[in-house]
C-alpha cells in the first residue's frame, strides 16, 4: 500500500487546488452580481438598489383596478395668455430661495392644508399608489425634540462621519450643525415615502418608483409654498430617519425623505448670492 501514498498525496493536492478554484469561481459569480431581476433598467443598474429593482416598471400606471374611462376636461388658454401665464409662473418661482432664517410668526393652517392638498393630493405616482405621508409638526415640544435628534446626529456627522471632501464643501457654506429654524419655524413638514404598502390580504404591495413620486410631490409643494408667500429650506437629515420616524410614530414602511421648516423669513434673512445656470446649459433642443 505504501507505494500509493505519494500518488494519494498528489491526488489530494489536485483536489485541494480544484476545490479552492471552484470556491473562487462561486465567489466571483456572487461578486459579479446579486442576480438582478431580468426586467431592471440596464442603464440604471449602477444606481439601482435591490429594492428599486422591484419598483422598476415602465409607464406609471394610474390605477390598479379596472376603472372606467371618462372624458378629460381641458382648460385651454389662447396662445398669448399661455405665454403670459408661463412667464409669470417663472417670474414667481425664480424668486424662490432656500431660506435658513425663519421667523416665529404663526402661519394660517388653512394655507398649509391647501399647499399639502396641492402637492400630495394631486401629484402623479407610480401605479397611483400615492406613496406619501406629510407630517405637519406644530407642537413646540415635538419640534424641539426633532431639533435635538438632528443636531446630535449632525454633530456626529460633521465630526466623524463625513469625508474630508464633504467637510470642505460644507465649510464654505457657513452652515454648521446648529439648526435654529427647527425651533423657530411655526411648522415643520416631514415628508415620508412609503417604500411599500399593504394589499387587502395584508401582503406587501409594491410601490413602484416611490422615491421619484414623492420627490415630484415635494417639487409641487415647493411651488405651492412660493405661490403662497412662504419660505423653506429643503433638508434631508442624515442618519435621523429612524429616530424621527419613531418619535412621530410612523410605521416601518415609511422612510423620511425630506424635512421642510416652513414660515415667513426672519427679519434679517440672508441668502448666498448664487447664480443659476442659463437656459442653454440646462436645455437642449433636437
Euclidean distance between CA atoms 271 and 259, whole angstroms:
19
For residues 185 and 225, the answer to whether their CB atoms sit within 8 Å is: no
β-pairing, 132-137 with 196-198? Answer: unpaired
Helix, strand or coil, per DSSP, at residue 115: helix
User: Toward its own copies, which CB reaches closer, 72 or 200?
Assistant: 72
Nearest distance from residue 198's CB to its own copies, in Å? 14
Give me the torsion for CA of 17, 23, 27, 29, rounded to 10°: 100
Euclidean distance between CA atoms 153 and 36, whole angstroms:
34
Nearest distance from residue 91's CB to its own copies, in Å? 9
Per CB under 8 A, 138 contacts its own copies:
yes
Could you say which residues in the range 213-242 bind its own copies, by CB under 8 A? 215-224, 227-231, 233-242
Nearest distance from residue 222's CB to its own copies, in Å? 7
Nearest distance from residue 183's CB to its own copies, in Å? 15
Binding residue for its own copies, selected from 79, 164, 200, 202, defined by CB under 8 A: 79
Could you say which residues in the range 26-65 bind its own copies, by CB under 8 A? 26-27, 30-31, 37-39, 41-44, 46-52, 56-65
Q: Give whole-number Cα distances, 205 to 164, 193, 198, 200, in Å.
A: 41, 14, 5, 9
Per CB under 8 A, 10 contacts its own copies:
no
Per CB under 8 A, 164 contacts its own copies:
no
> Torsion-angle region of residue 150: left (phi > 0), alpha (psi -120 to 50) or beta?
alpha
User: Toward its own copies, which CB reaches closer, 41 or 183?
Assistant: 41
Per CB under 8 A, 90 contacts its own copies:
yes
Amino acid at each position: 500500500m505504501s507505494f500509493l501514498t505519494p500518488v494519494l498525496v498528489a491526488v489530494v493536492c489536485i483536489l485541494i487546488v480544484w476545490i479552492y478554484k471552484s470556491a473562487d469561481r462561486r465567489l466571483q459569480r456572487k461578486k459579479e452580481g446579486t442576480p438582478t431581476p431580468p426586467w431592471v433598467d440596464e442603464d440604471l443598474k449602477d444606481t439601482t438598489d435591490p429594492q428599486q429593482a422591484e419598483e422598476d416598471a415602465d409607464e406609471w400606471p394610474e390605477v390598479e383596478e379596472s376603472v372606467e374611462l371618462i372624458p378629460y376636461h381641458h382648460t385651454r388658454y389662447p396662445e398669448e395668455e399661455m405665454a403670459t401665464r408661463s412667464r409669470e409662473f417663472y417670474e414667481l418661482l425664480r424668486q424662490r430661495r432656500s431660506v435658513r432664517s425663519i421667523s416665529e410668526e404663526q402661519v394660517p393652517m388653512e394655507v398649509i392644508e391647501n399647499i399639502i392638498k396641492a402637492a400630495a393630493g394631486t401629484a402623479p405616482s407610480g401605479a397611483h399608489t400615492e406613496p406619501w405621508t406629510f407630517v405637519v409638526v406644530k407642537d413646540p415640544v415635538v419640534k424641539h425634540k426633532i431639533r435635538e435628534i438632528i443636531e446630535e446626529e449632525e454633530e456626529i456627522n460633521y465630526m466623524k462621519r463625513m469625508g474630508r471632501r464633504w467637510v470642505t464643501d460644507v465649510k464654505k457654506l457657513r452652515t454648521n450643525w446648529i439648526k435654529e429654524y427647527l425651533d423657530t419655524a411655526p411648522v415643520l413638514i416631514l415628508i415620508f415615502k412609503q417604500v411599500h404598502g399593504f394589499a387587502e390580504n395584508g401582503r406587501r404591495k409594491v410601490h413602484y418608483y416611490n422615491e421619484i413620486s414623492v420627490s415630484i410631490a415635494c417639487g409641487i409643494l415647493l411651488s405651492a409654498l412660493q405661490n403662497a408667500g412662504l419660505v423653506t429650506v429643503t433638508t434631508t437629515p442624515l442618519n435621523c430617519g429612524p429616530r424621527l420616524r419613531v418619535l412621530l410614530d410612523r410605521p416601518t414602511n415609511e422612510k423620511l425623505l425630506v424635512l421642510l421648516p416652513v414660515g415667513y423669513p426672519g427679519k434679517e434673512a440672508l441668502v448666498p448670492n448664487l447664480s443659476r445656470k442659463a437656459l442653454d446649459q440646462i436645455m437642449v433642443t433636437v
